[in-house]
Amino acid sequence: MSRIAYVNGRYLAHREARVHIEDRGFQFADSVYEVCEIRDGALIDATRHLDRLERSMGELRMPAPMGRAALLVVLREVARRNLVRNGHVYLQVSRGVAPRDFPFPAGAAPTLVVTARSKNVAEAEARALKGVAVAVRPDIRWGRRDIKTTGLLANALAKQHAREHGAFEAWLVDERGFVTEGASSNAWIVTADGALVTRAADHMILRGVTRTTLFDVAAELQLRIEERPFTVEEARRAREAFMTSANSIVIPIVAIDGAKVGDGAPGPTALRLRALFHASAEATQV
């Protein structure tokens, strides 16, 4: 079956989907995006994803392409037309098409693109049970990482470095030596006394939706969370480390730049959080 994409009011074969060459998303990365998990035919945490989308557009003074209810219909329809039961739906909003110039164009209509695809659930579960390695890189991104824009070149460079060094993810480190987050995930450690540590969600990191829902899971389990920076060295000495994102949910980290975390095996806390995550997450049927 041919994949289907939504572009500005039309459902098109994926290979035929197009945007204008002067779309500001292409010219300036003047665009924002969200990735929402689909699990057993339901959109996971759609409300929080759309809340964050609206915040990102607001921070960039970008008009919405349509109302929330209509956008939710489009997300569901794209998932349905692509027969996605387990996977992800991706949506991107740009400021629209205008002659190339840096200031915001007057009257440009936003561009909306939505796609969806399935994932190999067994492969994802096997990765989580095995755990992954991360590679450390300097954080060279712009200063508003709290806005989920498509300006991801620094993230792509970090991911490429990780791949070339046999790692699944890159951890980005600020100028003071503290981990900010992963190239496409939030970073966590578990201390010797069982506390969960992750950096506070300010302008230095993206407030991950999975990260936010994990706070609910931790509260139910009566686990303490410390929102503070941690260094790579503290992470190496930690009892556990893990990453969170809509693509990966919770994945244990077993090595940092080749050095084992804990005993080098996935930790029980991370695996338990992964197992219980969807019981706390919102599920909106497609």
Q: Does position 138 have pLDDT exceeding 70, yes or no?
A: yes
Q: Model confidence over 2-50: pLDDT tens digits?
A: 799 999 999 999 999 999 999 999 999 999 999 999 999 999 999 999 9
Domain ranges of the chain: 4-119, 124-281
Beta bridge partners of 256: 134, 259
- How far is it, in rounded angstroms, from Cα 253 to Cα 267? 8
Length of the chain in residues, anyone? Answer: 286
Q: Does position 115 have pLDDT exceeding 90, yes or no?
A: yes
- How far is it, in rounded angstroms, from Cα 204 to Cα 144? 7
Q: Does position 122 have pLDDT exceeding 90, yes or no?
A: yes
Q: What is the 3-state secondary structure (H, E, C) of 29-49?
A: CCEEEEEEEEECCEEECHHHH
Q: 28-32, 70-74, 121-125: lowest mean pLDDT where?
A: 121-125
**What pLDDT shows up at residue 1?**
60
Residue whose pair of structure tokens reads 């190339």 in the numeric block: 100
DSSP 3-state of 266: coil
DSSP 3-state of 80: helix
Comparing C-alpha atoms, which of 154, 185, 50 is closest to residue 112? 50
Q: Does position 197 have pLDDT exceeding 80, yes or no?
A: yes
Q: Does position 112 have pLDDT exceeding 80, yes or no?
A: yes
Q: Does position 172 have pLDDT exceeding 70, yes or no?
A: yes
148: annotated active-site residue: yes
- Mean pLDDT to the nearest integer, 164-179: 98
Domain range 124-281, CATH architecture: Alpha-Beta Barrel (3.20)
- Mean pLDDT to the nearest integer, 123-141: 96
Q: What percent of the chain has pLDDT over 70?
A: 100
Give the domain 4-119 fold: D-amino Acid Aminotransferase; Chain A, domain 1 (3.30.470)
- Mean pLDDT to the nearest integer, 130-134: 98
Q: Model confidence over 199-216: pLDDT tens digits?
A: 999 999 999 999 999 999
Q: Does position 169 have pLDDT exceeding 70, yes or no?
A: yes
- How far is it, in rounded angstroms, from Cα 46 to Cα 41? 13
- Own/partner contacts of 187-190, CB < 8 Å, gap of 24 or more, are 187/235, 187/241, 187/243, 188/241, 188/242, 188/243, 188/244, 188/270, 189/230, 189/234, 189/235, 189/238, 189/239, 189/240, 189/241, 189/242, 190/238, 190/239, 190/240, 190/241, 190/242, 190/267, 190/269, 190/270
- Own/partner contacts of 9-16, CB < 8 Å, gap of 24 or more, are 11/77, 11/78, 11/81, 14/115
